[in-house]
Structure 1
Amino acid sequence: MKALKISFFILLVVALGLMGMSVVYAPQGFPEGSMTDQRAALHHYAIRSESIALRDDSRSTQANKDVPAKAGREFTGLVFSPNLDAPPRKPFPLVIYSHGFSSSHKGGEYLGRYLAGLGFVVAMVDFPLTNMYAEGGPFVKDVVNQPADVSFLIDVLLERSQRQGDTLSGLIDPERIGVMGVSLGGFTSTLLAYHPAMGDPRVDAAISIAGPSSLFTDRFFTSRSLPFMMIGGTYDVLVPYETNAAPFQTKAPNAWLISIEGGAHTAFSGPTAAFRFLDNVDVIG
Structure 2
Amino acid sequence: MSFSVSRNITYREKKQHKWQNTIVGALIGVVSTFVSATPGNAAERIAFYYPPFGEFTISTLDIETYAESGRVTRDFAFYLNRVPSSQRAQFRQLLRTYFNLDATLVSQVTYSALGESVVRRLSELIMTESRQGSFYALRSALILSATNPKGLNIVEVIRRYPSSTIRLNLTEGQSILTNFSELIRRRDRVVGGLKEVATAEASNQTTDFSQQQDLQVPGSLGYKVVSWEMNDVARSRAFPVDLYLPQNNNNRSGGASTSVKPPFPLIVISHGVAEDRETFAYAAQHLASYGFAVAVLEHPGSDAKKIQQYFEGLASPPEARELINRPLDIKFLLDQLQRLNKSGSNFVGQLNVQEVGVIGHSYGGYTALTLAGATIDVNSVNKQCNPNNSLNLSVLLQCRANELLQGKTPIPSFQDTRVKAVMALNPFGSVILNQKGFSKIQVPIMFMGGSQDVITPAVPEQVIPFTWVASQNKYLALIENGTHFSTSEKLNASKPVLPVPRELIGPNPAIAQMYVKAFSVAFFQTHLVNQQQYSPYLSAAYAQYISKAPLNVDLVRSLTSEQLEKIFENN
Residue number in structure 2 paired with 1:278: 502
- Structure 1 residue 103 corresponds to structure 2 residue 319: no
Question: Would the alpha carbon gap of residues 238 and 200 (structure 1) be closer, same or farther in structure 2, given more than 3 Å must change?
Answer: same
**Contact conserved, 2:301 with 2:319, CA < 8 A, in 1?**
yes
Q: What's the offset of the Cα at 1:167?
A: 2.6
1:68-107 mapped onto 2 (5 Å cutoff) = 72-83=236-247, 89-107=261-279
Shift of 1:232: 0.6
Instruction: Give 1:1-285 correspondences, 5 Å limit.
Output: 38-59=214-235, 72-83=236-247, 89-134=261-306, 136=315, 138-139=317-318, 141=320, 142-163=322-343, 166-195=345-374, 197-215=413-431, 216-254=433-471, 255-272=474-491, 278-281=502-505
- Kindly tell me the number of residue pairs found equivalent between the two proteins: 239
* Alpha-carbon spacing, 1:80–1:211, altered in 2? closer, same or farther (3 Å): same
Q: For residues 152 and 105 of structure 1, do their structure 2 counterparts lie closer, same or farther at Cα, with a shift above 3 Å needed?
A: same
Q: 2: distance between equivalents of 1:261 and 1:140?
A: 33
Counterpart Cα distance in 2 of 1:84 and 1:161:
20
Structure 2 residue runs without a partner (length 5+):
1-148, 152-208, 250-259, 310-314, 376-412, 495-499, 507-571
Q: How far apart are 1:223 and its partner, in Å?
A: 3.4
Distance in 2 between the 1:245 and 1:49 partners?
33
**SS of corresponding position for 1:204:** strand
CA contact (8 A) 1:101 1:140 kept: no
State the Cα deviation string for residues 126-176 of structure 1 (Å, max 9, x = none).
112111212515515213111111011011112222226x33222111331
Q: Which one has a larger percent helix, Structure 1 or Structure 2?
A: 2
Asked if the contact 2:337/2:353 (under 8 Å) is kept, the reply is no
User: Residue 146 of structure 1 aligns to a residue in which SS?
Assistant: helix
TM-score normalised by L of structure 1: 0.75
Highest RCO, 1 vs 2 (Cα 8 Å, sep ≥ 6): 1
- Separation in 2, partners of 1:42, 1:253: 33
Q: Which runs of 5+ in 1 are unaligned?
A: 1-8, 12-32, 60-71
Contact between 1:129 and 1:137, CA under 8 Å: does it hold in 2?
A: no
Structure-2 change in CA distance of 1:186 and 1:204 (3 Å): same
Report the CA distance between 1:249 and its aligned residue: 2.2
CA RMSD of aligned residues (A): 3.1
Change in Cα spacing, 1:84 to 1:213, as seen in structure 2 (3 Å) is: same
Q: Deviations over 1:47-69 (max 9, x none)?
A: 1112221101122xxxxxxxxxx
Instruction: Give the letter aligned to residue 92 of structure 1.
Output: F
Q: TM-score, normalised by structure 2?
A: 0.39
CA pair 222-131 structure 1, distance change in 2 beyond 3 A = same
CA offsets 1:196-243 (integer angstroms, 9 cap, x no match): 512212111111100102122222134341101111111111111111
Structure 1 residues 213 and 35: alpha-carbon distance in aligned structure 2, compared to 1, 3 A threshold:
farther
The CA deviation string for residues 84-136 of structure 1, in whole angstroms up to 9 with x for no partner, is 59xx9521111111110122121111111011111111111111211121251
**In 1, Cα distance between equivalents of 2:365 and 2:294:** 16
Give the drift of 1:273. 6.1
The residue identity in structure 2 corresponding to 1:200 is D
- For residue 267 of structure 1, report the CA deviation from its aligned partner: 2.0
User: In structure 2, do the counterparts of structure 1 residues 113 and 35 end up closer, same or farther at CA, with 3 Å as the change threshold?
Assistant: farther
Q: Distance in 2 between matches of 1:235 and 1:247?
A: 16
8 Å CA contact 2:271–2:361 kept in 1: the answer is yes
